Chain A
Amino acid sequence: MISLLWQGTVTGLLYAIAAMGLVLIFKSSKMVNFAHGAIAGLSAFVVYVATTGALGWPWLAGVLLALSVAVGVAGFAYLAIAPLLNEANTLKDTATTATIATLGFGLMAEGVILWVFGSNIVSLDLPLPAWSTSIVGVRLTSYDIAVLLVTALVVAGLFVLIDRTRLGIAFRAVSSRPFAAAVCGLSVKRVHLFSWIASAILGVVAALLVVPTTFLSSTTVATFMLQAFAAAVIGGFESLPGSVVGGILVGIASNLFTFYVAPEFINSFLLALILMSLSFFPGGILSRRVGARV
């Protein structure tokens, strides 16, 4: 039981990292990025190709290349979508249109993966020592430690960035009062771009951490994103701490459900989880006030 909870937490942290990426974009531009998983998957393949076979780069170099690819693709995607969003202040539906456009980017990214890397399933591990220990009946591996450390780093980094830097202040301003922020001369576009790039980096981090347990194919990372979406919804879709809590909850709940109930119904379970969270915590799990999210 304890080990189930522990495993669920570790997986949940991965959902949380991916969910934070979705939330960052939603907070700043009120749209959902359905290409999040596909872009992250594409980057994971870049790491694979760079570090294996003919290239054989060191792992870190591969990750740096993948990060730059992800940042490039996400930046390009945003700049392409930005004109659609620009009228967000005047037209009601532009966020919807932009959201549909991200599905287009997702399809393209998945198509590129298939086209360039093929349909094989490959294994992509983290360069970690094979170490493990047992504490009160719970087996702790180097992988678990790595996930924990990386999540802590990511959360701390985001906190510092958003709370302490000028960019962060601009981000908060734009996400709470976009019109006022624009009037005050803040560049809404730059803040949006920042959130897209940060989101892409989070996506790559989540993908690289999840792939050692799932292997890598053209669909694995995109599949994993459903849990990230569930985590973001439970967290309220507008709250970074909420999505961490949401991620852990989804991780533990899925693990318990898989163990005790019926693993073949995991997607239906996630649907139920999402619908219940929308009914009972419309403002997200961490929100005290209950009100409409419109």
Chain B
Amino acid sequence: MTKDSSGSKRDLTRRAVFSGSLALAGAAAIARPNLSLASTAAPGIDVAKKTVRVGAFAPITGPVPFYAIINRASDAYFQELNASGGIQGWKVEYVVRDDGYEPARSVAVTQRLIEEDQVFALVASNGTAQNVAVIPVAKQHNLPIVGPSGGSPKLVAEPNIFPLLPDYALSAAACTEYSVDVLKKDKIALLWENDELGRAAKRGIDLYLSSLNKQTVVDASFNVRSTDFSAQVRRAAEANAEVTIIFGSNANLASALRAANAIGYKCDWFAPFFTADPSTYGLAKDLLNGVRFSSWLMPVDADNENVRRYREAIVKHYPKDPMGVFGLNGWTQASLFAAAFDRLVSSGNPITREGLIDALNGMSNVSVGASKNVTFSKDDHRGTRQETMIQAQDGKFRVVRDFTPYPSVVFNAKP
């Protein structure tokens, strides 16, 4: 996004503020912001100026403000894209609005994006419950949701939603498969965060192990804002677990590593992809070395063209944001939209929401952003089907296994 288009985004908001105060007075009819474009074009599409407007809701405030890093990285992607000529000359405007991580507000924000901002699609809209909550509204307008930052079978099932973020059950199963098949270790302890992330991971691991007639030796949960892991880690130690899989935040991982270090417990550790992040080194220091991560994204420090462009762009556009997996995630989700829109323009079909959905459904084994082999079809919206194994080594994240399909027992299991 260039300087003036970000200015126009401000104007939009100001207009909304203005209509807000009118509503407060409760006395006036509100003229909807007149963004009318060429009469036949789809919402958010300006054929004359060759611009496409997309939007997202993001938790800029509330309990998890750091998730908004994802959407700022998406914005950085679009700014870079526009600066380098756009998508076959099309420029992208990206409108991000705060929902405080409250699903009811996500619905309100989505209606606002549809009615006032007239967005063409949502890109990298943030949060699982939040995306699920807007399904009815999005369906009503046939609004494509491209790369929602949330993983749920409910999202995968919708014809207009195209998620990249895999079900955590799959990542967790990949970790389990790696430790059983590659490391030859099957005494596995699972520490799971009591939320959608941890519960999904537990489902995947249990499913995979039960297919081998095995089970975890320790199954302990912890709360989202857990502080003290000494009890959970002690349980893993007393069960002589050779492998500990922990599905929680990077602070949880670091706390657990410290607790293990404090009691002198050693094992192989696995953690979710978003903890393969430089900030985790900041918290856990050397204790992080050796920890493995099953990831649908290449490492942040990978020597890859797309990932390097992300690193350069984030420093340029959002120097205050940390360079890490959250950002790479948002960058990749935005790349997915750009790739799909590119196919839509190339196809010569009319630029409509239906057209975008068709273009996405035609994507097969495409590499977008930091992900590889993304595939969508009309009946199957599980975009990510493979993950790579990353290991923390001497302050860096190294690929120790290339992109490999998910264990099929879990991938093909009914949700």
Which residues of A come within 8 Å of B, CB atoms? 3-4, 7, 11, 114, 118-123, 132, 139, 141, 143, 210, 213-215, 217-220, 223-224, 254-255, 258-259, 262-264, 266-267
Contacts and interface: CB of A to CB of B under 8 A. Distances in A.
Contact of B220 (A213, A214, A263): A263
A259 to B, nearest CB: 4
B159 interface: no
A254 B227 CA distance: 12
A123 to B, nearest CB: 5
Contact of A224 (B223, B227, B250, B264): B227
Q: Which are the 7 A-B pairs with shortest beta-carbon distances?
A: A214-B227, A264-B194, A119-B65, A259-B231, A258-B231, A264-B221, A119-B66
Contacts of B63: 219
B251 A120 contact: no
A4 B233 CA distance: 11
A124 B250 CA distance: 15
B221 A11 contact: no
Interface string B54-81: 0000000101111000000000000000
9 contacts: A4-B231, A121-B250, A121-B251, A123-B254, A255-B228, A255-B231, A258-B222, A264-B221, A264-B222
Interface stretch (B255-263, B342-350, B405-413): B255-263
Contact of A213 (B228, B232, B234, B235): B228
Contact of B228 (A11, A118, A122): A11
Nearest to A217: B251
Contacts of B221: 262-264
Nearest to A118: B320
Contacts of A220: 225, 227
Contacts of A213: 227-228, 255, 258
Interface string B84-105: 0000000000000000000000
B255 A215 contact: yes
A264 B221 CA distance: 6
B6 interface: no
B250 A258 contact: no
Contacts of B279: 120-121
A139 B282 contact: no
Interface string B210-254: 000000000011110111101110110000000000000111001
Contacts of A119: 64-66
A4 B231 CA distance: 7
Nearest to B220: A263
Given A3-B234, A7-B228, A255-B231, 12 more contacts: A7-B230, A7-B231, A114-B61, A123-B254, A210-B227, A213-B227, A215-B251, A223-B227, A258-B222, A258-B228, A258-B231, A266-B223
Contacts of B283: 121-123, 215
Contact of A3 (B220, B263, B282): B263
Nearest to B322: A120
Given A139-B263, A214-B255, A263-B220, A122 B230 contact: no
Given A7-B231, A139-B262, A263 B226 contact: yes
Given A264-B223, A267-B223, A141 B262 contact: yes
Nearest to B263: A139
A224 B255 CA distance: 15
A121 B262 CA distance: 21
A246 B223 CA distance: 22
Nearest to B69: A119
Contacts of B222: 258, 263-264
Given A3-B234, A119-B65, A215 B225 contact: no
Nearest to A134: B264
A217 B65 CA distance: 11
Contacts of B228: 7, 11, 213-214, 254-255, 258
B251 to A, nearest CB: 5
Contact of A4 (B66, B234, B251, B262): B234
Interface string B37-66: 000000000000000000000000101111
A3 B234 CA distance: 9
Contact of A215 (B66, B223, B254): B254
A291 to B, nearest CB: 35
Nearest to A222: B225
Contacts of A218: 65
A263 B223 contact: yes
Most buried by A among B66, B226, B231, B258: B231
Given A213-B255, A215-B254, A114 B65 contact: yes
Contacts of B232: 258-259, 263
A139 B264 contact: yes
Contacts of A210: 227
A267 B263 CA distance: 26
Contacts of B249: 121
B138 to A, nearest CB: 28
A138 to B, nearest CB: 10
A193 to B, nearest CB: 32
Nearest to A251: B228
Nearest to B198: A264
A264 B231 CA distance: 13
A123 B285 CA distance: 10
A214 B283 CA distance: 10
A62 B353 CA distance: 56
A223 B61 CA distance: 17
A3 B227 CA distance: 18
A223 B225 contact: yes
Interface in B248-296: 249-251, 254-255, 258, 262-264, 279, 282-283, 285
Nearest to A7: B230
A118 B66 CA distance: 8
A258 to B, nearest CB: 4
Most buried by B among A120, A139, A143, A262: A120
Contacts of B255: 213-215
A123 B278 CA distance: 13
A261 B285 CA distance: 32
Contacts of B263: 3, 139
A264 B232 CA distance: 11
B63 to A, nearest CB: 7
Nearest to B66: A119
Nearest to B68: A119
